[in-house]
């Protein structure tokens, strides 16, 4: 159920000011230290950001998808690492539980996820299973009242902060139908988390390996029935892809604003860069593509709220928006010229940050396959 317009408007205004006044001044510090300050995390909890998508009955804000993507747009106007702090709680870390959890599972975990007391993470990717996510080899073997979980997960967002993982593991034969989903507390024996990886961009947002050595997971922690894990994961990713598409649009709008400000101030040949038509062409292309992506995101979110099937549209939004923001970032560097290559201006940092959007939660190539499959299935 949507918030009333006045309440939601106040939330958006608060988020907008939080991004502008608290987060953007800290971008360089977070990039250098590879850590978001704890006082910022605490403020995010107080603002309710960890529970944006969690139903009100469990302590969340219960935003509709249309409302959630508008909040994500605002968070796109700063380094993506800030959104990542609560992003897994809002998206892939909690939504399997929201969609498929039992009443007891929801009551046990969702209030603490919504408050930010615990961080939830999503463990699907493995050393040998990335885009081919149905080929996971982590195994869960039932032994009485527990499943013994063994295997390794890779590039897991917020793993070093997580208290709860949604883990996809094989309980039967090969293929998607042999995968089941489990809620795995981080303090169970046999579970270990590796060191954060050194990355190209998005410093402050950590990804780590997660290893399981006959970790005893109670049968009561299985999400849904055996063999339903892959279906749950795909539903979670559909929603996550739309959220990421919205973040991409927000970053693009930030880059365009920065490029326009620089081009208006920087003078060459006796006049501002913004007066040169070839610079104007880059601005025009960027603005047009960002507007198109924004429209696609908002329309898809509205269709999801209406209960329409949106597998194709989520894939299209994520594909178009993530590719779009890469082009916009490249043009922004070009408009800044030599300054765009210098760390002090921040543009090169955003250029590196946005590169990941074309890879995680389904590569652009996977989105193309989904779009083509759904289009052909639907007869065009």
Active site residue 361: yes
Please state, in angstroms and rounded to a whole number, the distance separating the CA atoms of residues 55 and 297: 22
Q: 214, 253, 361, 374: which is the annotated catalytic residue?
A: 361
The residues annotated with a catalytic role in the active site are 361
């Amino acid at each position: 159920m949507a918030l009333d317009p006045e309440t939601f408007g106040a939330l958006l205004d608060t988020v907008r000011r939080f991004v502008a006044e608290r987060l953007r001044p800290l971008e360089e510090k977070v990039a250098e230290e590879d850590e978001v300050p704890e006082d910022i995390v605490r403020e995010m909890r107080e603002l309710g950001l960890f529970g944006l998508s969690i139903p009100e009955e469990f302590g969340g804000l219960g935003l509709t998808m249309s409302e959630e993507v508008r909040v994500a747009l605002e968070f796109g106007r700063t380094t993506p690492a800030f959104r990542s702090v609560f992003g897994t709680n809002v998206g892939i870390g909690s939504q399997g539980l929201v969609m498929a959890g039992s009443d007891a599972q929801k009551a046990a975990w969702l209030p603490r996820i919504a408050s930010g007391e615990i961080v939830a993470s999503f463990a699907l990717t493995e050393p040998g299973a990335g885009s081919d996510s149905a080929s996971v080899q982590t195994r869960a073997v039932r032994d009485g009242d527990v499943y013994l979980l063994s295997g390794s997960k890779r590039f897991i967002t917020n793993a070093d902060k997580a208290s709860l993982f949604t883990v996809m593991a094989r309980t039967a034969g090969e293929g998607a139908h042999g995968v089941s989903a489990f809620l795995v507390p981080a303090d169970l024996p046999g579970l270990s988390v590796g060191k954060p990886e050194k990355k190209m961009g998005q410093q402050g947002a950590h990804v780590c390996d997660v290893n399981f050595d006959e970790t005893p997971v109670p049968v009561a922690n299985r999400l849904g029935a055996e063999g339903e894990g892959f279906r749950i994961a795909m539903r979670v990713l559909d929603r996550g892809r739309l959220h990421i598409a919205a973040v991409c649009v927000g970053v693009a709008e930030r880059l365009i604003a920065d490029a326009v400000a620089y081009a208006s101030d920087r003078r060459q040949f006796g006049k501002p860069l913004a007066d040169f038509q070839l610079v104007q062409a880059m601005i025009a292309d960027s603005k047009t593509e960002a507007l198109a992506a924004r429209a696609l995101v908002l329309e898809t979110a509205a269709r999801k709220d209406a209960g329409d099937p949106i597998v194709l549209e989520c894939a299209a939004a994520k594909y178009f928006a993530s590719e779009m923001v890469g082009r916009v970032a490249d043009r922004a560097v070009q408009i800044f010229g030599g300054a765009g290559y210098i760390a002090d201006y921040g543009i090169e940092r955003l250029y590196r940050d946005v590169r990941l959007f074309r890879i995680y939660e389904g590569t652009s190539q996977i989105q193309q396959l989904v779009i083509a499959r759904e289009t052909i299935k639907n007869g065009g």
